[in-house]
Amino acid sequence: MDNSLFFYRTVIFTRANDQVALVDINEIENNTPLDDWFGLVVSLADGKHTIKDLITYLGKQYQQTPANLEKTLHSIVTRLTEGKLLKLSSSAVELPYYLTEPIEQLDIAKAKQLIETDGYVH
């Protein structure tokens, strides 16, 4: 995997109760929790950072970086990309408003209007 690629989410998410989950903006109470690592990567996928940045950032969370961290993150990014929850780009990406933050931090009416205008479907 090319660590110089930027990664960005294509889904709306929630970060309620310290759990990252996928959420439908029209049915906010229904969500799909993600495993911790998957949720962490989705929540960090802002389009402004590369996979190398992700590896470096998460590596700093440990006193000693796990030997398999890069391989693990490559696997997670691959699976999220295959599931169409993430996309990769050779340059930075500006996310639309409704994908920028957890749903709790969005103006729902504004987000719904922009989703309709953009024709966003996931």
pLDDT tens track for 10-40: 999 999 888 999 999 999 888 999 999 999 9
Rama region for 43: left / alpha / beta (φ>0; ψ in -120 to 50; rest): alpha
**Residue 39: inside a domain, yes or no?**
yes
What is the Cα–Cα distance from 103 to 105, expressed in whole angstroms?
5
pLDDT tens figures, 80-92:
999 999 999 999 9
**Residue 88: inside a domain, yes or no?**
yes
**Residue 113: inside a domain, yes or no?**
yes
Q: Domain total for the chain?
A: 1
Range of the domain at 59: 6-118
Domain harbouring 80, CATH code: 3.90.930
Q: What b/e sequence results for 61-74 when a residue is b if at least 16 CB atoms lie within 10 Å of its CB, and e otherwise? A: eeeeeeeebbeebb
**Residue 67: inside a domain, yes or no?**
yes
Single pTM value for the model: 0.91
**Residue 1: inside a domain, yes or no?**
no
